[in-house]
Amino acid sequence: MGRNFWVVALCVLVNFAWSQQLVYCERFEAMVNFLKVNHLQPKPIDENLSKYLFDGLLTDLDPNRSLLSKTDYEELSGYRTQLHTSLLKKDCYFTELVWNIYVSALNRKLLYFKNIDASLLRTEGSETLRFSTEPFEFDVTVEDLPKLWNKRIKYIALDEVARLSKNKDSLAPFVEELAAAKRSEIVAREVCRIENILNKQGELNEEIAETLLNLIGSYFDPHTNYFNASEAKSFMSGLATANKSFGLMLELDEKEQLIVVGILPGSSAAKVPGIQPGDIIRKVRLPKTGFEYDTACSNMEQLAIIIYGEEEEEVTFEIEKQDQRREKVTLTKNLVPSVENTLTVFVSETSPKVAYIKVSSFYSDFDGSNRGLTADFLDALLKCENEKIKGLIIDLSGNGGGSVDEAHRLSSLFIEGPVAYSSDRNGQINYYQDLIPFYKPDYPIAIITDGTSASASEFFASSMQDYGKAIVCGTASCGKATMQFITPIDKRSNSDLCKVTARSFFRPTGETIQKKGIVPDIELPTLYNNVISREANFETALSIPKIQVPKPNGLRKFRKLKSLRKKSLARIAASPYFNEVQRVNPLIEKLANGENKEIPLKFQAIYEQVHSIDQLYAEVVALDKLETDVKFKNLNIDNQKIESDPFSIELNKMALDEVRRNFRLAEVYRILKDYIGK
């Protein structure tokens, strides 16, 4: 019986593996077929897709080229130009092969780290570690991988020691002792991280499949993405006016510790006195399953899904206080107003009275609240007009877009005529006519943009600029003129979905802002402008030509633009703040771009590298603390409401603090003041 049992068991396993491969192939095929039919600019399914999928998957699994060996890569490399052929033939053995090699590589590294010889980690000799702005090749042999791991441990340990103090002399006598302790921590973290991955081997194949599905999407363009059902739900909830949340605002510090940096008023976390900013989240436990994640070695994407996603309603957090005491706190998600989907509204304290409305997102009625951006904006605008405003500033900086329908509606508040156009894959052109002909404000309007103002923001700002309804100030916007919708890739199932690029929008003139962005009428120096990733920076960003449309009536430049620009440029040239921004931006860009270098594994060299940016960092922090002499305040009608709501009090305090330090806003106020002439 024993022999027959094992033969049957082996056959069952083989059949199961084959059936899983077939399921993956069917999903890949469904994704490709869906994009062929629905994408704005479908691409050929050829070896270019193969290379993109192959390189993208291996980079996702081993971004630092320190896990997979040269032999591992060579075993997989035959698929690099033929993967598309295999997938379309429903031969998905590649996913199984990747899984086997990846798990084997993890086990190889785990075995080494569990038995590592501490004597090999001492910081001595003439070793160096190479850094490159481009990805390394998979060229390290199995025999040489331990040498690379040892060097990385040494480097990270000395890096962490160097960050302990800005006084090198105070560290020097204790470097080896401190580095030895750090090396032990690093090894323990890596063992924990690998064990966490291996403990969920059953999920790895699915993760590899979903990574490939997402890469298929992003091959067509950077905004076409695969979503599983949970991800799609989380994405849509992010566009709603309120979301279920624990209320924790978290960041990773320089040690990759998960730090509480803020707590949302009205949330579950706000009602628990045990959690405070500065606390470290050490463990995350799911009461439903009893599964526990150690944050020091867990996948941050997985933790983000748990903490910010839709599925987990209750989580127990083990937090470390500043005195190193540990406490356990169980939080339950509740509905908390979305910070991003809330307007910030102020008026200037000085004459002329100008309203300021910060629009962080083009949110819509996805949650059935019957409240979208345009309705909220109109309410805010009417309240501002009750205070006899003479001008309006709309701030779109940091606004990555949202609902194009809301951008259409908002544009219609100000514009008569075609607001914009859109086109599909067949060249079918639709136009967006103004919707609200009864309300057209006649005071001057300025719009602030930066490199992260994208999509719906650009739809609105470009229409306002073309009709001369607003003067656009700031820096060039992102340059994303594509439109997406979310739908299942197979009508028979809702488990696999795609956010697919299906249309592109155009300015009222028929011009596109795709990969160009909106060029501001008046450019304002903006911190970090040189390092913002715009649409043109994405490898698979689409190129979209202009369309031929009738020239609408009413297109014009903003009045007095030439004189306004001249006066603004003079103020900027005389501004210590803007001059400092222009000085530090190239330094920030150089730092962000990195350089090819080889660093000795010596404390002196690593200390100098770590602290080479101290001066620049101090200068940027000092810039961020400066306050302008242009003051804004709450609307009179809002004061009572704000004071009665803890959530509003906290948000209002943060928003006023940001406005006080917003030199771009102050300059835009002066531009409108020049226009108004008082």
641 Cβ contact partners less than 8 Å away, ≥ 6 residues apart:
648
Residue type (1 letter), 256: E
User: Are the CB atoms for 92 and 18 separated by under 8 Å?
Assistant: no
Nearest to 663 by CA among 553, 537, 571: 571
User: Are the CB atoms for 626 and 340 separated by under 8 Å?
Assistant: no
Average pLDDT of the segment spanning 292-317 = 81
- Kindly state the percentage of the chain with pLDDT values over 90: 63
User: Are the CB atoms for 459 and 198 separated by under 8 Å?
Assistant: no
Least confident interval from 295-299, 461-465, 502-506, 644-648: 644-648
Q: 38-85 pLDDT, tens per residue?
A: 999 999 999 999 999 999 999 999 999 999 999 999 999 999 999 988
pLDDT at 650 over 90: no
Across the beta sheet with 471-474, what order do the strands follow? 522-523, 471-474, 445-449, 391-395, 354-358, 344-348, 632-633
Give residue 11's pLDDT.
41
Q: Delineate the domains of the chain, giving CATH numbers in brackets.
A: 42-220 (no CATH), 242-337 (2.30.42.10), 344-608+624-676 (3.90.226.10)
Per-residue burial over 7-45, b if 16 or more Cβ lie within 10 Å, else e, is: eeeeeeeeeeeeebbeebbebbbbbbebbeebbbeeeeb
Give residue 12's pLDDT.
36
Give residue 10's pLDDT.
35
Per-residue burial over 54-80, b if 16 or more Cβ lie within 10 Å, else e, is: bebbbeebbeebebbbeebbeebeebe
Spatial separation of the C-alpha atoms in residues 259 and 262, rounded to whole Å: 9
Spatial separation of the C-alpha atoms in residues 501 and 493, rounded to whole Å: 21
Alpha-carbon distance values, 252 to 280, 326, 673 (Å): 10, 19, 42
pTM of the model: 0.90
Token output for 481:
């003129």
Give residue 240's pLDDT.
59
Q: 7-41 pLDDT, tens per residue?
A: 433 343 334 344 566 678 889 999 999 999 999 99
Average pLDDT of the segment spanning 580-607 = 93
pLDDT at 341 over 80: no
326 Cβ contact partners less than 8 Å away, ≥ 6 residues apart:
282, 318, 319, 320
Q: How confident is the model at residue 6 (pLDDT cuts 50, 70, 90)?
A: very low
Give residue 148's pLDDT.
95
Give residue 231's pLDDT.
75
Spatial separation of the C-alpha atoms in residues 139 and 365, rounded to whole Å: 52
Nearest to 552 by CA among 508, 510, 507: 508
Q: How confident is the model at residue 384 (pLDDT cuts 50, 70, 90)?
A: very high
Give residue 241's pLDDT.
56
Longest dimension (CA), the chain: 99
Spatial separation of the C-alpha atoms in residues 302 and 120, rounded to whole Å: 33
Number of Cβ within a 10 Å radius of residue 218: 18
Give residue 16's pLDDT.
38
Q: How confident is the model at residue 586 (pLDDT cuts 50, 70, 90)?
A: very high
Residue 129 pairs in a beta bridge with 599
Residue 506 pairs in a beta bridge with 421
Give residue 434's pLDDT.
86
Q: 158-182 pLDDT, tens per residue?
A: 999 999 999 999 999 999 999 999 9
pLDDT at 1 over 60: no
**78 three-state secondary structure:** helix
pLDDT at 501 over 90: yes
Give residue 25's pLDDT.
86
DSSP designation for 434: -
Token output for 583:
């000085």
* Sign of the torsion formed by the C-alpha atoms of 261, 266, 268 and 270: positive
Q: What is the length of the chain?
A: 678
Q: 527-546 pLDDT, tens per residue?
A: 999 999 999 999 999 999 99
Strand 354-358 and strand 391-395: the pairing is: parallel
Spatial separation of the C-alpha atoms in residues 266 and 247, rounded to whole Å: 8
Could you write out the three-class secondary structure of 128-188? EEEECCCCCCCCCCCCCHHHHHHHHHHHHHHHHHHCCCCCHHHHHHHHHHHHHHHHHHHHH
DSSP designation for 362: B
From the number of C-beta atoms within 10 Å of its C-beta (0-12, 13-18, 19+), residue 586 rates as exposed
pLDDT at 553 over 80: yes
Residue 598 pairs in a beta bridge with 130
pLDDT at 209 over 60: yes
Q: 241-271 pLDDT, tens per residue?
A: 567 788 888 888 766 788 988 887 778 888 8
Could you write out the three-class secondary structure of 95-126? HHHHHHHHHHHHHHHHHHHHCCCHHHHCCCCC
User: Are the CB atoms for 256 and 280 separated by under 8 Å?
Assistant: no
**631 three-state secondary structure:** coil
Average pLDDT of the segment spanning 130-144 = 93
User: Are the CB atoms for 335 and 368 separated by under 8 Å?
Assistant: no
Give residue 7's pLDDT.
40
